[in-house]
Amino acid sequence: EVADLQAFHERNVAACRARVSIVGALSRSQAQILVQRLLARLPAASGADCAPLPAVPDAQPLQKAVQEDIPFAAAQAQVLIGQLGIARRDPDFLALLVGNHILGGGGFTSRLTQEVREKRGLSYSVYSDFSPGLNRGAFVISLQTRPDQAAQAVQVAQATLARYVADGPTEAELRAAKDNLIGGFALRIDSNRKLLANVANIAWNDLPLDYLEHWTARVQALTLADVRSAMQRHLQPGRMATVIVGGQP
Q: Residues 119-150: pLDDT tens digits?
A: 999 999 999 999 999 999 999 999 999 999 99
Q: Select from 79, 203, 67, 88 the least CA-distant residue to 137.
A: 88
Segment 61-80 shows an average pLDDT of 96
**46, β-bridge pairs:** none
**Do residues 140 and 199 share a domain?**
yes
pLDDT score for 169? 98
**Do residues 97 and 7 share a domain?**
no
pLDDT score for 44? 80
Q: Select from 156, 175, 150 the least CA-distant residue to 68.
A: 150
**Do residues 186 and 235 share a domain?**
yes
CA distance linking residue 182 with residue 177, whole number of Å = 8
48: pLDDT strictly greater than 80:
no
99: pLDDT strictly greater than 80:
yes
**Do residues 140 and 207 share a domain?**
yes
* Domain of 13, in residue numbers: 2-50
Mean pLDDT of the residues in the chain:
95
Segment 41-67 shows an average pLDDT of 84
pLDDT score for 50? 81
Q: Is residue 86 part of a domain?
A: yes
Considering the chain, what percentage of its residues have pLDDT values greater than 70? Answer: 98
- Give tens-digit pLDDT for 152-174: 999 999 999 999 999 999 999 99
CA distance linking residue 225 with residue 93, whole number of Å = 15
**Do residues 46 and 83 share a domain?**
no
Q: Is residue 173 part of a domain?
A: yes
**Do residues 36 and 110 share a domain?**
no
Q: Is residue 56 part of a domain?
A: no
Identity of residue 59: A
Segment 76-96 shows an average pLDDT of 97
Segment 88-96 shows an average pLDDT of 97
4: pLDDT strictly greater than 90:
yes
pLDDT score for 237? 98
Backbone angles phi, psi at 38, to 5 degrees: -65, -35
What is the number of structural domains in the chain?
2
Those residues with Cβ within 8 angstroms of residue 176's Cβ, 6 or more apart along the chain or in another chain = 109
12: pLDDT strictly greater than 90:
no
CA distances from 65 to 74, 115, 127, 176, 197 (A): 26, 22, 20, 32, 36
**Do residues 120 and 212 share a domain?**
yes
